[in-house]
């Protein structure tokens, strides 16, 4: 039997004891399953993913779920930024155990893990492992919109100390509203697109101030409007997107479909 560790939030432990690990994760090939890592001699390498996973789903701390799979169980193994290979569970353990540096590697089980396959659940060392990527320590963190995690401890101070030239932090809402009003009607397209870019980084916004842009003659402005407000939690966003969904320009309609996906 091949032994693995699945790291998850402590809040999931009671459910895992009852019914096992749900196939909530999606592998590179699109199938749903469970990510895990072999139990190696090195305690640090076995729990290497903990700090990175804790950045996104730490509810009450993290726990280590030990599970055993049949040696012939089909799994995939690979580094997080490379295409995985299909192997058996025993082959995955042997391959990672033989590596000089298996950091960043992961095993994916393309199915749910049953409660019988879960051997034990124990508390995990909350400071083990790397964050962002292996060998990231000592490198300047990226503050672009794609890399940063909203709500992460110290993220706002980091963005203020190292602002990204394209991704902020964005100007205050009152400044952005003033720019929209200064642009006039229908308004300069370049200035409006830049302002909508910053609006898109907010969770809420002044929808009545931007509603008139639905009828802007430049389709690029209408497309930027869809991207900006599509994920807002402001009342009225759904109605505005309904209007943009009937836009004569295909790029605008595609933007609406993307933000609603």
For residue range 210-229, list pLDDT tens digits in order.
Answer: 999 999 999 999 999 999 99
The span from the CA of 158 to the CA of 169, in Å, is 10
Percent of the chain's residues with pLDDT above 70: 95
pLDDT at 210: 95
57 or 115: which leads in pLDDT: 115
DSSP letter (8 states) at residue 100:
S
Indicate if the pLDDT at residue 82 is higher than 90.
Answer: no
pLDDT tier, 52 (very low <50, low <70, confident <90, very high otherwise): confident
What would the mean pLDDT of 86-106 be, rounded to a whole number? 96
Indicate if the pLDDT at residue 155 is higher than 80.
Answer: no
pTM over 0.85: no
CA 231 to chain centre: 15
The span from the CA of 1 to the CA of 110, in Å, is 17
Task: Delimit the domains of the chain by residue range.
Answer: 2-123, 140-169, 173-260
pLDDT tier, 58 (very low <50, low <70, confident <90, very high otherwise): low
Indicate if the pLDDT at residue 169 is higher than 70.
Answer: yes
Are 212 and 182 spatial neighbours (Cβ–Cβ below 8 Å)?
no
Indicate if the pLDDT at residue 157 is higher than 90.
Answer: no
Indicate if the pLDDT at residue 152 is higher than 90.
Answer: no
Query: Does domain 2-123 sit in CATH 3.20.20.80?
Result: no
Among 98, 63, 57, 62, which residue's Cα sits nearest to residue 77?
98
């Amino acid at each position: 039997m091949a032994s693995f560790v699945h790291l998850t939030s402590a809040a999931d432990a009671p459910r895992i004891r009852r019914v096992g690990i749900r196939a909530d994760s999606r592998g590179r090939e699109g199938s749903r399953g469970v990510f895990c890592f072999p139990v190696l001699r090195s305690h640090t390498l076995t729990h290497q993913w903990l700090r990175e996973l804790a950045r996104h789903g730490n509810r009450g701390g993290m726990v280590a779920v030990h599970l055993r799979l049949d040696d012939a169980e089909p799994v995939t193994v690979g580094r997080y930024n490379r295409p995985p290979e299909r192997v058996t569970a025993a082959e995955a353990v042997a391959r990672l155990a033989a590596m000089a540096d298996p950091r960043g590697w992961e095993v994916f089980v393309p199915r749910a893990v049953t409660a019988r396959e879960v051997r034990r659940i124990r508390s995990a060392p909350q400071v083990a492992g790397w964050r962002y990527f292996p060998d990231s320590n000592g490198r300047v963190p990226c503050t672009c919109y794609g890399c940063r995690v909203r709500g992460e401890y110290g993220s706002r101070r980091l963005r203020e100390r190292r602002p990204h030239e394209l991704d902020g932090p964005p100007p205050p809402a009152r400044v952005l509203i003033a720019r929209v009003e200064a642009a006039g009607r229908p308004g300069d397209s370049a200035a409006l697109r830049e302002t909508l870019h910053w609006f898109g980084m907010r969770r809420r916004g002044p929808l009545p101030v931007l509603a008139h842009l639905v009828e802007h003659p430049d389709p690029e402005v209408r497309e930027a409007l869809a991207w900006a407000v599509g994920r807002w939690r402001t009342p009225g966003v759904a109605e505005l997107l309904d209007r943009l969904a009937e836009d004569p320009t295909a790029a605008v309609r595609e933007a609406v479909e993307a933000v609603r996906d």
